[in-house]
Amino acid sequence: MYYYIFGTSPKEYKEINSEVEVTEFINVSNDNLRAEIVITIQGLEGHESNSTLKEVVSSELVVGTMENIAVGTYFPDAISFKHALRSVAIKENFGVRIKASDKTRVIATCAYQGCKWRIRTSICEDDKSFEVRRLEGDHTCPGINRAGNRLATSTWVANEIQDIVKRNPDIPPKEINNNLEKEYGLSLPYMKLWRLREQARENIFGCIEDNYKWVPTLQAELISRNPGSHITYIYDVRDNSFQRFYVSFKVCSDGFKYGCRPLISLDACHLKSKHLGMLLSATSLDGNNGLFPIGFAVVENES
């Protein structure tokens, strides 16, 4: 068995020597860390060990993709297997053709005519997870051009870089390319990687336009948790589009009244998000000459 910390790139697999270590992961991991751990099972033999390990892994952790697929490997579903197979094919530089795919099995072969490599997975007793049952032949194909690998679709790349984008949403496309080149031998154009980074962001954080729908909910939640605060928003009644959002927490306004000099400083900065706008802030000076925030607002322009 192997594991890697979800969100790190390139993926560095480390060996787990016993089931006790897996159990310790489950017992000591908090909610955030639990989602960051992926367990990989390779070459399990014997029905008893399969059953035991599968029960441990399915308790809280996530079974994920791996560098080498072997007989006995478990996947949460057929989609997970296909993604893992695609990743391995890209890394090992060969093509894959899905010969059969239904609710109970997935059969794939090498895309190169004459190559005898073949893999078969079947559904398990839980009617959801899949297990690799057969893996036949060695690759005799000459391989394919990595940069032009058709398996490296935009959807696959966006999903593959999701880990590092989650940790650093503003990661430069050049750094993403370095990771892909190191792990898979892929080199993609700058603008394509820029678009794929945006796609990965959307997969993680949701569509920017859809997030504006949560403004009324955000206002209500902030007021309920900060009674006496002044929090309001304005929208265009013609198309219900967002215009402005203002926040001044009660503790900040009280702090200004009782602990700051009677001086308010206004400042503004341009936002560089997709829909631009400006961030306005009102601050004062406390007794130690430190900046004390009073309120802030997101508006369409400074005027």
| Confidence at residue 258, expressed as pLDDT on a 0 to 100 scale | 93
| Confidence at residue 14, expressed as pLDDT on a 0 to 100 scale | 56
**What is the phi-psi region of residue 93: left when phi exceeds 0, alpha when psi lies from -120 to 50, beta otherwise?**
left
Residue the block writes with tokens 């297997």: 81
In this prediction the pTM is 0.54
Structure token pair of residue 182: 């190191």
Domain map (residue ranges) of the chain: 2-205, 211-299
Structure token pair of residue 226: 């900060």
| Confidence at residue 55, expressed as pLDDT on a 0 to 100 scale | 35
| Confidence at residue 253, expressed as pLDDT on a 0 to 100 scale | 95
Spans of the chain below 70 pLDDT:
1-68, 144-149, 303
Instruction: Return all residues near 298 (Cβ < 8 A) that are at least 6 apart.
Output: 244, 245, 271, 277, 278, 279, 280
Nearest-angstrom CA–CA distance, 116 and 183:
26
DSSP structure string for 18-73: -HHHHHHHHHH--HHHHTTEEEE--S--SHHHHHHHHHHHHHH-EE---SS--TT-
